[in-house]
Structure 1
Amino acid sequence: MDVIVKPTPSLNGEIGALSSKNYTTRYLLAAALAEGTSTIHYPAHSEDSDAMRRCIRDLGAVLEEDDSKIVIQGFGSHPRDVRELNVGNAGAVLRFLMGVTALCPEVTFVNTYPDSLGKRPHDDLIDALGQLGVEVQHEQGRLPITIKGGQAKGGHIRVSGSVSSQYLSALLFVTPLLAEDSTIEVLNDLKSKVVIGQTLEVLEQAGIVIHASDDYMSFRVPGGQAYKPQTYTVQGDYPGSAAVLAAAAVTQSDVKILRLMEQSKQGERAIVDVLRMMEVPLTHENDVVHVQGNGTLKAVEFDGDAATDAVLAMVAAAVFAEGTSRFYNVENLRYKECDRITDYLNELRKAGANVEERQAEIIVHGRPEGVEGGVEINAHYDHRVIMALTVVGLRSKEPLRIRDAHHVAKSYPQYFDHLQALGASVQWVKE
């Protein structure tokens, strides 16, 4: 379905942040890898986290869920022998489970999103799994991918971090369960180091011991470990909240978002700092971000590597800032559900934004007077692009029609409901 976003001068009210998708998927996997019963309070519901639920159930975990928690009986280091797994369009879930299924005899990950996840490469993880003695069949690094495991062994593993940190996270989840000790050496640069911090935080909570270098470029992993059943509480999600905060920043607003931890390890927490740099009036106290926007913003320069999933929302705010903004060190945006630099900027131009791209940069020449809008734009099946383009539509002179906006459910199914609750003029329409 499409959504029409109409110019909206003001937003008011308060909402609770949705639960973190990143933490939910990691807690679900840690619970599945434990022998015993774990409880996760306030788990996220999105296409990504639901894909992890579905797959760990297929692998033998038993899940019982009510409105506020999920109870999981894990399969430990002995997942069920399954032939196929369907992760939908969830890249992180695919990569994490490519590591875990090294414990299985043979599993094929099917390709149900050929125009999105089906185009994304996984060569670096495939190469690393080969170093564990796992045979991987694939289509030039892409889905469908068959993992022939069951005989995985620890040792010295080299993995590139230049495309995605998810490859490293996959290895960190599985290597503690192998009989042998492992060392993991990260080659090249490591993108999104802050997300590795989240993985290590979850693993520590699950009782797993990993010795990491300060720069996260090398790790010592003792083998023969066991995940412990635990009780986890999922914190509020900064990546999804970033778009709502950006929407409040570009309008006349009085908006509060609850459940956003001030000391969170989520890199996207930087959205608060960036909006402050843009001179947006806001406070962040007692896990509540309170934005009192006046629609006036200043340009910024920002290294986006540590806040990948908030950069598009930052760019949307910068479209209306006074001056030229620059978001750099963001090349890994090109390897997401779509090319989040070229594809996103093309749609912004249709709406009337003045933007430029470099290989690893986004440059925004702000238009404080607003943009024209009045066009139909393509979100490329990408939830982050949908959310960010919506922010632009709120400040456009004429409505924007965003194609296939229902794909926002990948991470934030309630996004448009939350915006409407704050007073945004958005309307669902059939294609």
Structure 2
Amino acid sequence: MKAIVKPAPELKGTINALSSKNYTTRYMLVGALAEGTSTLYYPAHSEDSDAMRRCIRDLGAIVEEDDEKMTITGFGRHPKPVPELNVGNAGAVLRFLMSVAAFCPELTFVNTYPESLGKRPHNDLIDALKQMNVRIDHNGGKLPITIYGGQPKGGKIKVSGNVSSQFLSSLLFMTPLLEEDSEIEVLHDLKSKIIVGQTLEVLEQAGIRIEADDDLMRYRIPGRQRYQAQEYKIQGDYPGSAAILAAAAVTSSDVAVHRLEENSRQGERAVVDVLRAMGVPLTHRDGIVHVRGTGLLKAGEFDGDHFTDAVLAMVAASVFAEGTSRFYNVENLRYKECDRITDFVTELNKAGASVEERQSEIIVHGKPEGVEGGVEIDAHYDHRVIMALTVVGLRSKQGLVIRDAHHVAKSYPHYFEHLLSLGANIELQD
């Protein structure tokens, strides 16, 4: 599908933020690992959450849902032995379930997105699982991956946090179910510590005890624990909402986004402060972010590791800021659905922006007058790239055509629908 994005003179209206993808997938997993029936209110509907639904069902969970809630009757530490799982293009789902697969005798994760997830490395988690008496066949750390488990062992485990925090989160979900106590040491650096905080929050709500050092680099996990069946209410999603807020910031706007909790542990909550630092007129109270955009922004310097999944949306806003903006500590963006530094910077420059890259930085020379546009650009099969490029198209002089725009459904199926409801002029072509 192509998205033909036309310049938007103004955006006005109110929307509800979609439910958090990160929390939905985590609550679904702890529901599957519990013995009993858990209830999730307002679960996200996206390709990632659909992948988790499909896979936990395949592994033996009973999943039922209506318009408001989902119930999950879990399989505990005894997933049904199945020969293979298809996670689609959902990297977090793959990584979380690789550890769960250690309880299965033999399970292959197939490669259905060779140009996206199929290119992403998982060596750090593979190395950690091998320390736990799990044999693994793999393609240079990439899919397809076959896990020969059945008898995973606890003890002292080392895992690198250099590439992704998802490897650590995967182990934190699985190790409480082992017979032995475990101690996990994170090697090198740990990316996206705030997202690890979300994992720990969900585990605590599910009745799991984990002792973590203050710097989140070492963990002590008692074995022989059981997940408790619980009720969970899923909050609004900051990463997806970041693109809506960025679109409001770069246009003449009066846009309110509801269901964004002020005290959320989502790191991407920082986008409210980033936009404020850029001079965007907004308020945030009672779970509502209200932007009255003027299109006038100023540049700044931001540590992107605090809001990883919203960096691209904030970069898109900074394309139109007065001055030079710098987003640093973002190397982990290179290991997502695409290389979100090189690939994204390439497309921005095609659209007429002036953007440079470093190994772990994106540097934007703002153009308050706008960018030319008038070109067709490549989304690289990446939902975050699609959303961010749309923001640029709305403020371009000639608009943009974004290829493969249907991949936005990975996290935000209603993204274009929401923008259209606010007055954007976007045509979708199959």
* TM-score w.r.t. length of structure 2: 1.00
Whole-Å separation in 2 of the counterparts to 1:187 and 1:321: 38
2:25 corresponding residue in structure 1: 25
Q: Which runs of 4 or more aligned residues in structure 1 lie more than 6 Å from their structure 2 counterparts after TM superposition? A: none
Instruction: State the 1:416 CA deviation.
Output: 0.1
Letter of the aligned partner of 2:343 in structure 1? D
- How far is the alpha carbon of 1:137 from its aligned partner? 0.5
CA-CA distance at 1:305 after TM superposition: 0.5
Counterparts of residues 32-431 of structure 1 (less than 5 Å): 32-430=32-430
| CA–CA separation in structure 2 for the residues paired with 1:184 and 1:76 | 22
Inter-partner Cα distance in structure 2 for 1:9 and 1:123: 47
Find the aligned partners of 2:397 and 2:102 in 1 and give their Cα distance. Answer: 53
The one-character-per-residue Cα deviations of 1:136-187 (angstroms, maximum 9, x if unpaired) are 1000000000010101010000000000000000000000000000000000
Alpha-carbon distance in structure 2 between the residues aligned to 1:350 and 1:429: 21
Distance 2:306 2:370 in 1: 29
1:427 deviates by: 0.5
Unaligned runs of 5+ in 1: none
Structure-2 separation of matches of 1:262 and 1:102 = 38
Where structure 2 has 5 or more consecutive residues not aligned to the other structure, the ranges are: none
Given residue 119 of structure 1, which amino acid in structure 2 is its aligned partner? K
Q: CA deviation at 1:9?
A: 1.1
Deviation at 1:361, TM superposition (A): 0.2
Q: What is the letter of the counterpart of residue 374 of structure 2?
A: G
CA offset at residue 245 of structure 1? 0.1
> 1:10 maps to what in 2?
10
How much does 1:382 deviate?
A: 0.2
Distance 2:117 2:170 in 1: 17
What is the alpha-carbon distance in structure 2 between the residues aligned to residue 121 and residue 306 of structure 1? 22
**SS class of match (2:274):** helix
Q: CA deviation at 1:429?
A: 1.2
Number of aligned residue pairs: 430
3-state DSSP class of the match of 1:204? helix
Q: CA deviation at 1:309?
A: 0.4
3-state SS in 2 of match to 1:262: coil
AA matched with 1:8: A
- For 1:68 and 1:387, locate their aligned partners in 2 and report how far apart those are by CA, in whole Å: 26
Q: Structure 1: how far apart are the matches of 2:104 and 2:208?
A: 21
- After superposition, the C-alpha distances for 1:58-97 in whole angstroms (9 at most, x for unaligned) are 0000011000100111001100011000000000000000
| Structure 1 residue 330 displacement after superposition | 0.2
Question: 1: CA distance between counterparts of 2:259 and 2:78?
Answer: 36
Q: Distance in 2 between the 1:67 and 1:15 partners?
A: 18
| Alpha-carbon separation, structure 1, partners of 2:131 and 2:172 | 14
Q: Deviations over 1:107-163 (max 9, x none)?
A: 000000000000000000000000111001000000000010101010000000000
The CA RMSD measured in Å over matched residues stands at 0.4
Percent identity (aligned):
75
CA deviations on 1:302-337 (whole Å, 9 max, x unpaired) are 000021000000000000000000000000000000
What is the SS of the residue equivalent to 2:372? strand
Question: Residues 179-199 of structure 1: CA distance to partner in whole angstroms, max 9, x if unpaired?
Answer: 000000000000000000000
Rounded to whole Å, the distance in 2 between the matches of 1:306 and 1:397 is 32
CA apart distance, 1:386: 0.1
